[in-house]
Amino acid sequence: MADVNALVQRWQAGDERAAEALYNHYRERTFHLALGLLGDPADAEETAQEALTYALLNIKRYDPQRAGFATWLHTITVSRCRDRQRRLRFPTLSLHTWLRRGSDPADPSPGPEYRVMQSEVRSQVWDAVQELSPELREATVLRYWGGHTFQEIADILGCPLRTAQSRVRLAFQKLQAVLTQEQLSDLNEEMV
């Protein structure tokens, strides 16, 4: 993949191949972020498409001095997910749906018993994440499944850095109260 900043500059100058390269590079990450926040693959696909389309059509509004392109795009994606949740009043996410769409464990060789146990642990972790407030859930999904830094989370959610850090810490404390050490280890392994 060419340098993202170079692709952005080329697209701002009108190079459609650069726009296509940006789209292809960020399509899956944007989809997984939307899926993590919405839970429904169809809603996530539509929301990711909306976010990518908006970002690419409004590329001249992007300011690299304010944020990296991925942070800007994920800010748009989170905003679109919030809008969709308000419209659909969709309160929870399904880990099973999310895992079916390509976030399965990287090693497919473990036996069926191990996979069932891992699936149960992931389901318990995901159920616990769903019990968090929307603000804590967003920060947790961005941190553990999106792999974002605290500064990126702050930028994406439009809050101060310390607030982003606090939300992740509070979420982890709430999860510690309801999950076993094995389940918490699984959460840490989910980090991208």
* pLDDT of res. 143: 86
Contact 165, 150 (CB under 8 A): yes
pTM above 0.85, yes or no: no
Res 90: pLDDT: 39
Which positions of the chain have pLDDT values less than 50?
Answer: 1, 90-93, 103-108, 191-192
C-alpha span between 33 and 82 (Å, rounded): 12
Q: What are phi and psi of 108, to 5 degrees?
A: -85, 0
C-alpha pair distances (Å), 21 with each of 119, 154, 170: 35, 27, 38
Instruction: Say if CB 64 and CB 11 are below 8 A apart.
Output: no
Q: pLDDT tens digit string along 156-187?
A: 899 999 999 999 999 888 888 887 766 666 55
Give the C-alpha separation, 153 to 147, whole Å: 10
Beta-carbon contacts of 188 under 8 Å, excluding residues fewer than 6 positions away, are: 144
C-alpha dihedral (108, 46, 155, 68), degrees to nearest 10: 80
Q: What is the pLDDT of residue 27?
A: 93
Which structural domains are found in the chain, ordered by start? 4-88 (1.10.1740.10), 104-190 (1.10.10.10)
